[in-house]
Structure 1
Amino acid sequence: MDVVAWQFLLLVNPNDEDAALQQFAAFRAALEEAGGDADPAALLRDVIDWKAGFHVGEDDAAGLMDALDELASRWRQRIDWGLDDDADAVPDTDAVLQTAFVQLRERHYSLWTAETGEATLSGWITHERDEEAMQLVAGALGLSARPGIG
C-alpha cells in the first residue's frame, strides 16, 4: 500500500517531492493510528485536502471555488469563473467543476473527481499526460475517480 500511496502523492504533487514527503508522513501516521480498520483512500483524501486536493460539501460552490483556486495556483494556473465582482450569484458545484475542468484541460491539466460515498465532492489536479498512471493508481487504492465531473 505504501508504494501505491507514494505514487498517488507524486502524481498530485508533481515537481514537489517535499510536499509529497510531508503528505506521505501524515498518511503513514494516520494509517498507524487508525489500525487495521483504515480506509487508505479516505486517509489520503484527508492528508492532501487544501494542499494537493479538495474535499468540500456537495452544495458548497464557494468553498469549491476557493479550493480549486488554491490548487490551480500551485500549478501556476488561474481559473476564470466568469463572475462579476459585484455578483452575489455563485454557480452550482457542477458548473464550477465543469468550468474548472474545461479551462484546465485547455492547458493540459486534468481535474479529477472521486466518489466519496458522502454528500461531498473530492478530487485533485494532475498533468493531462498522467491520466493513465492516475487511473491505475486510483484503482489500486480503491478510489472510484475520473477526470471531469464524477
Structure 2
Amino acid sequence: MSSPDNESDYEDDAFDFSGNDDDEDLDEETLFWQLLLLINPGDEETALHQFGRFRELREGADDDGEAIDTLQEVIDWTSGYRVEEGDTQSFIDSIAQLAARWNLQVDWGVEDPTDDEFLQSVDVPELMSTAHDRLREHGYTVWNRDTRDDTFAGWITLRRDDETMQAVAAALGIDIRPGSDAF
C-alpha cells in the first residue's frame, strides 16, 4: 500500500465517532480503546494493559455499572486522576505523576505546592485550571469529566487530539470539559 501524495488525500476521510455513519458503527468497547489510546499518547503498551484490565473487570462484574467508572478505576494514578472535592494535595500529586510521564512539571505559582497554607487557600478547580494552562504550553490538555458527585476526575491528552477527544467522549456519552472549566 502506498502513502498518499499530499494532505488533500485525507479531506474526505473524517471519521464519525458518533456511529451515525452506516458503514462505521463503532461499539462501546472500540470507543473505550480509542479513549485509552488518546489518554496514553505514545504509550500503546499501557493502553493495551489498561484495555485488558477494563475488559476483565467488565466481564467479571456482577452488575452492569457505569463503564466509565470501571475505566476510571483502571486508569487512576497512571493515566487519569480522581480526587475528592477538597483534596487539593491529592490533585497536585496526581497531576504531578501524570505530567512526569512526559518529563514535565507543573508550575503551581508557589515555591512549595505542598505547603498547608497554600493547599488551604486554593480549591481543586483553581488547581485544575492552573495545570491546564501550564500543560497547554507544552502541547497537552487537561480534561475533566462530569462525575455527578463530589469528586473531580479526568485525564490528559495531546493538545492536537482535542477534537478527537471530544468526539470519542461524546460518542460514549461522557460529558467532558477542558480543565480550565471544571464541573
- Let me know the Cα RMSD of the aligned residues: 1.5
Q: Is the 8 A contact 1:112 1:125 kept in 2?
A: yes
CA distance in 1, matches of 2:92, 2:115: 15
Structure 2 partner of 1:37: 64
Alignment equivalent of 1:11, drawn from 21, 32, 38: 38
Per-residue deviation, residues 82-139 of structure 1 (Å, max 9, x unmatched): 2233842212212211110110111221000001011100010000110111011111
Matched, 1:104 2:135: yes
Q: Is the 8 A contact 1:138 1:144 kept in 2?
A: yes
Which structure has the bigger radius of gyration? 2
**Identity of paired residues, percent?**
43
Structure 2 partner of 1:73: 100
Structure having the higher helix fraction is 1
Q: Which runs of 5+ in 1 are unaligned?
A: none
Structure 1 partner of 2:170: 139
1:15 CA displacement? 1.0
Q: If the length of structure 2 is used for normalisation, what is the TM-score?
A: 0.78
1:54 CA displacement? 0.3
Q: Is the 8 A contact 1:41 1:142 kept in 2?
A: no
- The number of equivalent residue pairs is 150
Partner of 2:116, secondary structure, is coil
Once the two structures are overlaid, the 10-residue window that deviates more, 47-56 or 85-94, is 85-94
Partner of 1:134, secondary structure, is helix
The runs of at least 4 aligned residues of structure 1 exceeding 2 Å deviation read: 82-88
Structure 2 partner of 1:94: 125
Once the two structures are overlaid, the 10-residue window that deviates more, 133-142 or 19-28, is 133-142
CA distance in 2, matches of 1:97, 1:47: 21
Partner of 1:37, secondary structure, is coil
The one-letter code matched in structure 1 to 2:178 is P
Structure 1 partner of 2:21: none
Matched, 1:117 2:136: no
Matched, 1:83 2:110: yes
